[in-house]
Amino acid sequence: MVIGVITIKIYSPWVHSLKEKRMIVKSICAKTRNKFNVSIIEAEEQDIHQIIVLGIASIADNSSHADSTIDNVLRFVESNIEGDIINIEREYR
Q: What are the tens digits of pLDDT across the range 10-59?
A: 999 888 898 999 999 999 999 999 999 899 999 888 788 899 999 999 99
- pLDDT higher than 90, residue 92: no
Please tell me the distance from the alpha carbon of residue 15 to that of residue 8, in angstroms, as a whole number: 17
The number of beta carbons lying within 10 Å of the beta carbon of residue 36 is: 16
Using CA atoms of 15, 20, 22, 28 in order, give the dihedral in degrees to the nearest 10.
-80
Tell me the domains of the chain and their CATH numbers.
2-92 (3.30.70.1120)
By the 8 A CB rule, do 53 and 42 touch?
yes
pTM score of the predicted model: 0.87
Per DSSP, the three-state class of 57 is strand
